[in-house]
A and B are shown apart, each in its own frame.
Chain A
Amino acid sequence: MASLSKPNAPRFDVDIFQNEYLAEGAREVNAIVTVTATGGGTSAGRLPASADGGDAAVVIMIDCSGSMDYPASKMRNAREATAAAIDTLRDGVAFAVVAGTHEAAEVYPGGGELAVADPSTRAAARTALRRLTPMGGTAIGTWLALAQRLFESRPERSIRHGILLTDGRNEHEKPADLQAVLERAAGYFTADCRGVGTDWEVDELRRISSALLGTVDIVAEPSGLADDFRAMMSTAMGKQVADVALRIWTPANAVVKYVKQVAPSVEDLTGRRSGAGPRAGDYPTGSWGDESRDYHVCVEVPAATVGDEMLAARVSLVLPRPDGTADTLSQGLVRAVWTDDLASSTRINQQVAHYTGQAELAASIQEGLAAHRAGDVDRATAKLGAAVRLAHVTGNDGTFRLLEKVVDVVDPKEGTVRFRKNVSEADSMTLETRSTKTVRVKR
């Protein structure tokens, strides 16, 4: 497979898991595409050949709304976490710190620019964090817009990543304004979002992190912020290549029913398609370090007769070039073979079944908690019961434990549960935020 010319860039491998055999008349082809990037900067604990960070830029956006003062430890912990993140910056990485309220303010370095990390800029940035003081409202769109302007000051930095912390709802901005900012930012930079405390909205933050191809998580206790920021920045520093897209070619008259990232978390990419030549579309995957992700691709192909073999999808990882062409990093084939052998066509691919269950698990949790908020306890109990059963059979122990904090599990096999009394808001929000986390098939 082709590899990038950059010596420290990861090499991508694509593996396809599917049952290619279809019964007569069947049209739906399902496959799990495992994309593994190896040999990048962070593999085997060694630093990249050129550890100068010359490609990367990071903007840290910290919520400084008035509520960050209640309790006062929240703002203090946010400052410490930002300092920890700054300490984790590799030398040479361009960075800035933004204070976010109903408007956005540059805290460091200022002047609409990015600083380049070295011991002196890191120390100066830490000192400047004193200016992170709580007062004002929340308009996240303005923070992201400022981050984008800062990134644009150094357009040669191709790996652009934001870290965003908020403790409340996006109250001082019209949803449409945020949406407009997200549409501009999507594809230009990626961002991980964190909600501290329990007064923020999971859906809202997930919309932002999804659009910006990053992660979303809850830090219920402000004291946990520093560790979380350090880990988040460390992951960001491992990214070696940005703007990788999953390109899916399908034959004439075929329809891509959906494309979902299914590991490490569920993320529906179906609506993110952009055309890439005849019968092909690109789905953004953001930036990659040494990591492995799984995608579930579902294609509806035209009917064919028994004995026919068709290429249902050609799945490739591509890196767009400035001139509009793209380098293909790796590719895999999703096939369809029509047979009248029932033993072949009814064989269930373990990977497809597993991730279908994991996606259903995430949906059940979200629907169950939404029903609970709406006061429909019967529906909520049924949905979370289904979630418990799915978490049990698919071996998703992490999600199972989170569910146990919200419901009493009577019978995990049958999915019989009772809602717990006095479920804490933090537990409920943690379950909702992490509902999309998946586990891989035990092989």
Chain B
Amino acid sequence: MPQQQTVCPSCAEPLGPDDAYCGACGHSTAEPAGTRVVTDARGPGATVPDLPAAGPAAGTCVHCGAAGLAPDGYCESCGKAQPKPRDHQERAMAGVAGVSDRGLRHHRNEDAFTVAGTSLPGGRPAVVAVVCDGVSSSARPDEASATAVDAASESLLSSLERGDDPTAAMRRAIADAARAVTELAYDDKNRARPDGGLNAPACTYVSAIAADGLVTIGWVGDTRAYWIPDDRESAEPYRLTEDDSWAARMVAAGLMGEAEAYADPRAHAITGWLGADAEELVPHTVSFTPHVPGVVLICTDGLWNYAEAATDLAFFVRADARTQPLAAARSLVDFAVTAGGHDNITVAVLPITPGEPEHEPTLLDLPVQRPAAEAAPAPQGHAATLPDGPPSAPPAPPAPPMPPFPPAPAPLD
């Protein structure tokens, strides 16, 4: 479903909800297939060139080759749906890239993502990436994810431009996204929309901010973030998020071992999401200051289902991911499609290159939770836990335990 635009993407002329073309400049409001590369003027760097369109020549069915295509996107001969703009999307800009793909087994892409950049009040650049995964059993999951991504990225950029603390910006963005998704369950007269007995539109959420050397992650549900250092010999890849899932809860509550919990059919049932029927919104955030070069990955379960542990996933991350983030994102999507493509796959890659050390050289390259005052009120099962590394990895932080780590240097004040 195309995102509803309120202004022309080309000339910023206001658009009505039914406008297919801009009345001022004639620009089509429909997104061209597979080519939408963010050209946000606020971005700190140049955009990569447009990618070639994914579809075949216009007017020919990609399935049977027949010439007639109905305006609603179905072949006049075989009836098959034609590729939609959201089936495969790539966006890249300096400092961040993302790729999303429908995969092989779902008829539409219910994932959504965006990458964007802006400047902090001091003029230093900040990049953000947001990835959302529509909940398949809910109504209009594709709309939910697109709505959440739009609301969150808008919120993140304005907060960062104002100079807000990244964790506070992240928490506000999650709240804004949740509100926007909740509104989808109601029509313009504030009545609940009937959606054929399905649940209210819902999605999971993960996003990352990279600004001033600090990485801040926020999430709800089972979309994940990973830290993958360039040098995987001397530094350990880490998962940065803890799923809101049945299995994670069971393990966290000490009721089951990891192997047992993840073997259960209920393992992947999510316990947190954005949507009108979410019982309570529990946004999780974590910040850390990387001191070795690497990339932050944020992704949907369509990717991590095929390489769950950070060390396993790292194996499929190109060694040059930091300098070629778009290529790295593409190869990860290709890997998931080749592995079965059972779900929609979305991954965003944020290269991190630590600058001149502004910190104690003894500080370890590890995730550190923000001070309690700012940190999320963790739900049961998340209380005071840091995201785990892969099960096979030795507990990375040496004693002393978590809190004594000095908080990462605040990027701004």
- Chain A residues in contact with chain B, CB under 8 A? 250-254, 278-279, 301-302, 304, 306-312, 314, 333, 337-341, 343-344
Q: 12 interchain pairs (CB within 8 A)?
A: A250-B79, A251-B77, A251-B78, A251-B79, A251-B80, A307-B105, A308-B81, A311-B74, A311-B75, A311-B79, A312-B79, A314-B70
Contact yes or no, B137 A308, CB < 8 A: no
Distance in Å from the Cβ of A353 to the closest Cβ of chain B? 13
Min distance, Cβ A403 to any Cβ of chain B, angstroms: 31
Say yes or no: is B104 at the interface (Cβ < 8 Å to chain A).
yes
- Give B81's nearest chain A residue, CB to CB: A309
Contact A339 B107 (CB under 8 A): yes
B108 interfacial by beta-carbon distance below 8 Å: yes
Among the listed A251, A278, A308, A343, which residue makes an inter-chain contact with B107, where contact means beta carbons less than 8 Å apart? A308
Which of these, B70, B102, B107, B136, contacts A338 with CB under 8 Å? B107
- Identify whether the interface residues of B are mostly helix, strand, loop, or mixed: loop
Contacts A333-B72, A343-B137; A301 near B79 (Cβ below 8 A) = yes
Q: List B residues 136-185 near A (Cβ within 8 Å).
A: 136-137
How many residue pairs link A and B with beta carbons under 8 A? The number is 58
**Looking across the interface, which residue of chain A has its beta carbon closest to that of B341?**
A307
Render B99-140 as a binary contact track against A, CB cut-off 8 A, 1 for contact: 000111111100000000000000000000000000011000
The answer to whether B78 and A310 touch across the interface, beta carbons within 8 angstroms, is yes
Complex Cα–Cα for A279 and B78 (A): 10
The yes or no answer to B253 lying at the interface (CB within 8 A) is: no
Q: Is B64 among interface residues, defined by CB-CB distance under 8 A? A: yes
- Please report the C-alpha to C-alpha distance between residue A341 and residue B75 in the assembled complex, in whole angstroms: 25
B residues near A307, Cβ cutoff 8 Å: 102-107
Q: Which of B81, B103, B104 contacts A311 (CB 8 A)?
A: B81
* Residue with the greatest number of chain A CB neighbours at <10 A, chosen from B74, B107, B108, B137: B107
In the complex, what distance in Å separates the CA atom of A337 from the CA atom of B76?
A: 17
Q: Majority SS of interface residues in chain A?
A: loop
Q: What CA separation (Å) do A301 and B78 show in the bound complex?
A: 10
Contacts of B64 in A (CB 8 A): 252
B80 and A308 form a contact (CB under 8 A): yes
Judge whether A252 and B105 touch: CB under 8 Å.
Answer: no
A310 in contact with B80 (CB, 8 Å): yes
Please give 18 more A-B residue pairs, beta carbons under 8 A apart, in addition to A251-B75, A306-B105, A310-B78: A250-B79, A251-B77, A251-B79, A251-B80, A252-B77, A279-B77, A307-B103, A307-B106, A308-B107, A309-B81, A310-B80, A311-B74, A311-B80, A311-B81, A314-B70, A338-B107, A339-B106, A340-B105
Q: Taking each of B74, B79, B102, which has the highest tally of chain A beta carbons within 10 Å of its own beta carbon?
A: B79
Return A352 CB to nearest CB of chain B, in Å: 13
A328 to B108, CA, bound (A): 29
The interface residues of chain A lying within 8 Å CB-to-CB of B72 are 311, 333
- Please give the distance in Å from A16's CB to the nearest CB on chain B: 12
User: C-beta contact mask, B47-82 vs A, less than 8 Å → 1, else 0?
Assistant: 000000000000000001000001010111111110
Q: How far is the CA of A308 from the CA of B103 in the complex (A)?
A: 11
Chain A residues whose CB sits within 8 angstroms of the CB of B70 once the complex forms: 311, 314
Contacts A252-B64, A333-B72, A343-B137 given: A309-B77 contact, CB under 8 Å? no
The chain A residue sitting closest to B103, CB to CB, is A307
CB distance from A248 to the nearest CB of B (A): 12
* Complex Cα spacing A341 to B136, Å: 9
What chain B residues lie within 8 Å of A343 (beta carbons)? 137
Of B81, B108, B136, which is in contact with the most chain A CB atoms at under 10 Å from its CB? B81
Using CB atoms, name the residue of chain B closest to A331.
Answer: B72
**Smallest distance from the beta carbon of B74 to chain A beta carbons, Å?**
4
